[in-house]
């Protein structure tokens, strides 16, 4: 069995949402016969999950617009979070019937994959009791929110790599009061010269994506393979406008 990895580059949130929904439908019907991991970076956007509370979004619509931030309500679990440049967002389209039909197990697997991805950078990823996501030294590095239908998953994780963390001041991230958000780049500041060099030419982001894809394949015991966006669109029945 394979884990197909499709690199989407930078894509607006709404377009990526429709793509993953189509991919999930294809996985449910069997038109897509392997598990899939979509990797993407979004322009600034705030998303509200099913558990979102109005008071956790601190910014008004006018302030969001002034900062160029879109706002979307979505079907994933969890509260309010931010996606934007410098953040690696992953949408695993996994058929849990081929693994284990247990959503809590799946969430722990996603956490484990992200923790394994951080280790090569000398960052010790951690879980926080009672919460979903990945922390290091008490600071939150990655948020996770998923949705399932017929045991097929979509939505996923957001790992801060070189993210502008000031965007998280617009909200109570994931509804966790007093949480301190961090990024891979910030955690590497003790190696400032190397981190700045990697961040400036994109190497850090490439390395993180590579580690994440490999870790997901290993955690789910799948063989890693690439999938072009055009092939995914064909399988998922997406027709691009002429």
Nearest partner of 144 among 29, 28, 51, judged by Cα:
51
Cβ neighbours of residue 89 under 8 Å, at least 6 residues apart? 16, 39, 40, 41, 42, 83, 156, 157, 158, 159
Domains, in order of start, for the chain? 42-221 (3.30.930.10)
Dist CA 239 CA 202 (whole Å): 31
In this structure, what token pair is assigned to residue 79?
């509260």
Handedness of CA 66, 69, 72, 74 (dihedral sign): negative
Q: Which residues of the chain have pLDDT under 50?
A: 241-242
Q: Which residues of 103-120 are buried (b: 16+ CB within 10 A; e: fewer)?
A: eeebbebbbbbbbbbbee
pLDDT of residue 242: 41
Task: Catalogue the E-assigned strands of 50-138.
Answer: 70-73, 80-83, 87-93, 134-136
pLDDT of residue 191: 56
Catalytic residues: 174
């Amino acid at each position: 069995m394979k884990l197909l990895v499709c690199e989407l580059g930078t894509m607006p949130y709404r377009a990526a949402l429709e793509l993953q929904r189509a991919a999930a439908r294809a996985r449910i019907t069997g038109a897509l016969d392997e598990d899939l991991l979509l990797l993407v970076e979004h322009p600034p956007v705030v998303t509200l999950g099913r558990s979102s509370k109005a008071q956790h979004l601190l910014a008004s619509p006018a302030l969001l617009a002034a900062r160029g931030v879109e706002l979307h309500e979505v079907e994933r679990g969890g509260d309010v979070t931010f996606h934007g440049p410098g953040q690696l967002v992953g949408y695993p389209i996994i058929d849990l019937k081929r693994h284990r039909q247990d959503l809590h197990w799946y969430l722990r697997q996603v956490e484990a994959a992200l923790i394994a991805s951080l280790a090569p950078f000398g960052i010790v990823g951690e879980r926080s009791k009672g919460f979903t996501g990945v922390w290091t030294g008490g600071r939150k590095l990655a948020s996770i929110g998923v949705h399932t239908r017929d045991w097929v998953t979509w939505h996923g994780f957001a790992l801060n790599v070189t993210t502008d963390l000031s965007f998280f001041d617009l909200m109570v991230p994931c509804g966790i009061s007093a949480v301190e958000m961090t990024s891979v780049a910030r955690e590497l500041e003790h190696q400032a010269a190397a981190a700045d060099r990697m961040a400036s030419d994109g190497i850090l982001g490439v390395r993180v994506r590579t580690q994440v894809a490999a870790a997901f394949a290993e955690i789910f015991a799948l063989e890693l393979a690439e999938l072009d966006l055009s092939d995914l669109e064909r399988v998922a029945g997406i027709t691009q406008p002429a």
